Structure 1
Amino acid sequence: MTITIQTSRLQLKTIDRDRAADVVDFIVKNDEHWKVWEPAREAEFYTFDKQAEILEAESRSIADGTLFKVWLHKDDEIIGSIAISNIVRGVFQSAHVGYKLAKAHTGQGYMTEALRAVVDYCFDTMGLHRLEANIMPRNIVSLNVVRRLGFYEEGLAIKYLKINGVWEDHLHMVIRNERME
């Protein structure tokens, strides 16, 4: 089942392995732009077969409720993605947020628009209570996106994730579904 969220300028859609070639194109075009913010990748990551495998695994995780991932589309071109991962239900009702946007589309408010719609979907449709984004302190652009949406800083995680071969500190940014409190 495909889920689509429409914003004023974008379609946010779940996709499957049929779009693996488009995903490869998207990541290859933007690899240099993202390299400073992402884990080091093996050459295999940039292949059709690997991306098809990843998309299949993501589809299974979406079906079992541990992941919600949409791809940002502008005129049917993939320009970004937002993943709500590590979804934990029960008394926690929480998840992690990760996102990326094509370099050619930065600075135009697309990620703020898309993430706002995804946060609303997570709170209103999925019934989550809390979303957490972990962002390197020097990633001012990303911090500005979440701050515009009402995320607040909950603390600093020292050497939290290995990014581009280096253990990096991350600010723990959180937004709560206050309608549930």
Structure 2
Amino acid sequence: MPAAPFLQTPRTRIRLPDEADAAVLLRYRVENKAHLTPWEPLRATEYYTLAHCTQTIVEAGALAAQDRGYPLLMFDPDQQQVLATFTFANIVRGAFQACHLGYGAAAAMQGQGLMQEVLRAGIAWAFGELDLHRVMANYMPRNERSASLLTQLGFEREGYAKRYLQIAGVWEDHILTALVRPEG
């Protein structure tokens, strides 16, 4: 079983959340609600409560313990503020050794290269410690920031899925991309 990550980049500390982080996670969700709503599934009102944040954290620990997913938070260096999130989800082992990648950054962190910084560290961990072969990431065609980010990270387009995910209450098309672990 892979160890839970504690990764560092020049501007962040990346780790699984623990229950003491519930209030900080809630602040991130509330402060970034308007910014993230167009890119996420519809959220029930309870999503923006301390109880739901605590539940999310407990579930994150269970997913990691089962090696089924790693929902990670990116904190500032003092670990007092969540700057971004990313998740290696739907991990499949055996002959596939792959997962899906989802991510989001605080509105205040947009355009500063933060996601590229943290995803480089995270993907290195996924290909190393997790021993994954493929990381897949999908984005809506109008999401130019995600398209640019994934291209910069080396993801390659593999397909186009009509009405792939329900985002903000609408079934949205997605461009399917993947990054395969380099040989050697």
Same fold? TM cut 0.5 = yes
**Residue segments in structure 2 that go unaligned for 5+ positions in a row:** none
Shift, 1:3, TM fit = 2.6
Partner of 1:142: 146
Structure 1 residues without counterparts, runs of 5 or longer: none
Q: Distance in 2 between matches of 1:65 and 1:16?
A: 17
Give the secondary structure class of the aligned counterpart of 2:112.
coil
Give the counterpart of 2:115 among 111, 117, 129: 111
Deviating 4+ runs (over 3 angstroms) = none
Question: What is the TM-score with the length of structure 1 in the denominator?
Answer: 0.96
Match of 2:21 in 1: 19
After TM superposition, give the deviation of residue 178 of structure 1 in Å.
2.3
> In the alignment, is the contact (CA less than 8 A) between 1:157 and 1:172 conserved in 2?
yes
Query: Once the two structures are superposed, what CA deviation does each residue of 1:82-140 show, in whole Å capped at 9, x if it has no partner?
Result: 10000010001000000010000110000000001111100011110000001001000
**TM-score with structure 2 setting the length:** 0.94
How far off is 1:2 after superposition? 5.2
Q: Which amino acid aligns with 1:33?
A: H
5 Å matches for 1:26-175? Answer: 26-75=28-77, 76=79, 77-175=81-179
Indicate the percent of aligned positions where both proteins have the same amino acid: 35
Q: What is the alpha-carbon distance in structure 1 between the residues aligned to residue 83 and residue 9 of structure 2?
A: 14
Q: Considering only aligned residues, what root-mean-square deviation do their CA atoms show, in Å?
A: 1.2
Aligned twin of 1:178? 182
Maintained 8 Å contact 1:134/1:170: yes
**Cα displacement (A) at 1:58:** 1.1
- Residues 17 and 60, structure 2, Cα contact 8 Å, conserved in 1: no
